[in-house]
Amino acid sequence: MSLLIVGTVAFDELITPFGESGKILGGSGTYAGLSASNFMDDINIVSVVGEDFPEEHLANFRKKGISTEGINVVKGGKTFFWKGKYHNDMNTRDTLDTQLNVLADFDPVIPESFRKSDFLMLGNLTPAVQMNVLDQMEERPKLVILDTMNFWMDIAMDELKAVLKKIDVLTINDEEARQLSGEYSLVRAAQKIFEMGPKYLIIKKGEHGALLFGEGEVFFAPALPLEEVFDPTGAGDTFAGGFIGHLAHTRDISFDNMKRAVIFGSALASFCVEKFGTERIAAITPEEMNERVSQFIELTQFEIEL
């Protein structure tokens, strides 16, 4: 099965209580793609970078089974850059610098050969760009997952609601679910959001885990309790990439398989935060993955005879 990811490929610079990263590879498309590459190798990223983006990063994507044909390198352009500083609790951060650069005019063109992808992940971009991508697909993908944030709810709610009608899985955090639905209870929020289009809702709660809602079904996966969170950047995109990567690899979109996908996504997110940027998720061995999933089994599984 083929997986198409539309998202940012960017530079990040991170300051945490543990040190400074310098200018490193980042972006939602990057994290999601590298995360999914732990399951499959027919992955396509559609994005935009500037001429300053090192060919080395693109070569590394290709080594991981990620096509870079859809990553538009803008001549004379500069790559999207974000700089942030995490507070001591690692849960809150300040943005120190945002340079949109080539992202400001991002008008994704889906290469011909990607337009029949079976699985589509729309990273956190303007709803109009997300809709534009959907319009270019020649066949309705088997599953479309969309990530968004409160910013678009504040300034582009109508466009967001239009694109929500056309997707299957929405990933947002708990505050965003409340904002989008107007409901404080997450159960009621899910019901309202289902009326907007999505058939599944994943509520990302960071260190408090993730909830997967389906019609009449709900599943919860905790975050792995860690001794140290070194850098939380990209954990949400890593989760989403692992989620859809597992589904695409197994070609099974049943709720039971989505539960497994949530666990794999959570396991990948727990790797992501161990080092700066994408360093850790680009170097996971199958043994390490099995060991990590075993930890989730110990953490959550119990036996009760009723």
- Name the residue nearer to a copy of itself (CB basis): 9 or 212: 212
- Which amino acid is present at 4? L
Distance of closest approach, residue 14 Cβ to a copy of itself, in angstroms: 18
Place of tokens 């699985």: 119
Stretch that binds a copy of itself, among 39-47, 136-144, 231-239, 257-265 (CB under 8 A): 257-265
Give Cα 205 to chain centroid, integer Å.
Answer: 14
How far is the C-alpha of 266 from the C-alpha of 238, rounded, in Å? 8
Tell whether residue 157 is a contact of a copy of itself (CB under 8 A). Answer: no
Number of residues in contact with a copy of itself under rule CB under 8 A: 38
- Name the residue nearer to a copy of itself (CB basis): 83 or 85: 85
- In the set 65, 219, 250, 279, which binds a copy of itself (CB under 8 A)? 219
Place of tokens 């692992």: 242
Q: At what angle do helices 127-136 and 157-164 cross, to 10 degrees?
A: 30
- In the set 5, 120, 164, 263, which binds a copy of itself (CB under 8 A)? 263
Distance of closest approach, residue 205 Cβ to a copy of itself, in angstroms: 7
Tell whether residue 293 is a contact of a copy of itself (CB under 8 A). Answer: yes
Q: At what angle do helices 235-250 and 255-272 cross, to 10 degrees?
A: 140
- In the set 104, 109, 226, 283, which binds a copy of itself (CB under 8 A)? 226
162 half-sphere exposure, CB direction, 13 A CA radius: 14
Distance of closest approach, residue 130 Cβ to a copy of itself, in angstroms: 27
β-bridge pairing 81-86 and 93-99: antiparallel
Show the beta-strand stretches assigned E in the chain.
3-6, 10-16, 19-26, 43-50, 66-67, 71-74, 81-86, 93-99, 119-122, 143-147, 169-173, 200-204, 210-214, 217-221
Tell whether residue 259 is a contact of a copy of itself (CB under 8 A). Answer: yes
Give the closest residue to 253 by CA, choosing from 145, 125, 128: 145
Stretch that binds a copy of itself, among 98-106, 108-116, 126-134, 288-296 (CB under 8 A): 288-296
Tell whether residue 41 is a contact of a copy of itself (CB under 8 A). Answer: no
How far is the C-alpha of 163 from the C-alpha of 133, rounded, in Å? 10
Residue 168, both tokens: 């299957």
Contact positions with a copy of itself (CB under 8 A) in 63-122? 88-90
Contact positions with a copy of itself (CB under 8 A) in 174-213? 184-188, 205, 208-209, 211
- In the set 98, 113, 254, 294, which binds a copy of itself (CB under 8 A)? 294
Tell whether residue 273 is a contact of a copy of itself (CB under 8 A). Answer: no
Interface residues with a copy of itself (CB under 8 A) are 88-90, 184-188, 205, 208-209, 211, 217-220, 222, 225-229, 256, 259-260, 263, 290, 293-294, 297-304, 306
